[in-house]
Amino acid sequence: MYNKILKEIISNKNNDKIKILSKFFKTGKGEYGEGDIFLGITVPISRKIAKKYSNLSFDIIEKLLKNKYHEVRLIALLILVDKYKNNNNQKQIVDFYLKNTKYINNWDLVDLSAHYIVGNYLIDKDSKILEKLAKSKNLWERRISVIATFAFIYKGEHEPTLKIVNILINDKNDLIQKACGWMLRELGKRVSEKKLSSYLDSNIHKMPRTMLRYAIERFPEKKRLFYLKK
């Protein structure tokens, strides 16, 4: 089955998009995606393939997740998301996900899976695992920690996001700053703009400018300029 799926995925290879995606996801030497290899497959095609194989065993999903091709790993994660939505044993899926974070190693892989699986699972549970991930030396585990809080934002909760952003507020990595700013922006949009403003008032001088710019993107221009001039 693994070879069959892999053959199908590779058959969708698009040489024209490989260079574009390799550049977009920063695969050059010293960049965050160094060494990642692309097939040039779009996300809609990846989703279509994933839908066909939502009943795969964990053994095969793990093989796909460990594959050298970026899109194969993405399809493995999309299958896992579908499996989570349609499976009673969600803890097994979450445990599998957290066991394999080594292979969830680019921002799109995190962003298309973390809140659907880890975040969703933790809604009514102890979320200390997010704090542990936020303190990880692994860039992608740190991103998982904050993106997972999107699930709480959807439910109208702000505390988990602010707790993780507080841990990551001094993070030097641009991808973490952007992720934190994005979640703060969504908190302001979906939960409470007042709570976001209050958080910014208390933390703006600690916050990297990239994080701040992302956080205030949806503010009216006058309010945006007010924070940028602080």
pLDDT tens profile 159-190: 999 999 999 999 999 999 999 999 999 999 99
Let me know how long the chain is: 230
Spatial CB neighbours of 109, under 8 Å, sequence gap ≥ 6: 70, 73, 74, 77, 140
Given pLDDT bands bounded at 50, 70 and 90, which one contains residue 230?
A: confident
Given pLDDT bands bounded at 50, 70 and 90, which one contains residue 205?
A: very high
Give the whole-angstrom CA distance, residue 25 versus residue 146. Answer: 20
**Average of per-residue pLDDT across 196-205:** 97
Output the pLDDT for position 89: 87
Domain 1-112 matches domain 125-230 at the CATH topology level: yes
Output the pLDDT for position 13: 97
The domain defined by 125-230 folds into Leucine-rich Repeat Variant (1.25.10)
Determine what percent of the chain is predicted with pLDDT higher than 70: 100
Give the whole-angstrom CA distance, residue 80 versus residue 55. Answer: 9
Spatial CB neighbours of 225, under 8 Å, sequence gap ≥ 6: none
Q: Look up residue 206 and give its two tokens.
A: 């600690």
Give the whole-angstrom CA distance, residue 93 versus residue 99. Answer: 10
For 45-103, the pLDDT digits (tens) are 999 999 999 899 999 999 999 999 999 999 999 999 999 998 878 999 999 999 999 99
Give the CATH class of 1-112: mainly alpha
For 38-47, the pLDDT digits (tens) are 999 999 999 9
Q: Residues 116, 50, 80, 142: what is their CA dihedral angle, to the nearest 10 degrees?
A: -60
Domains of the chain by residue range = 1-112, 125-230
Separation in Å, CA 23 to CA 17, 20, 34:
10, 5, 10
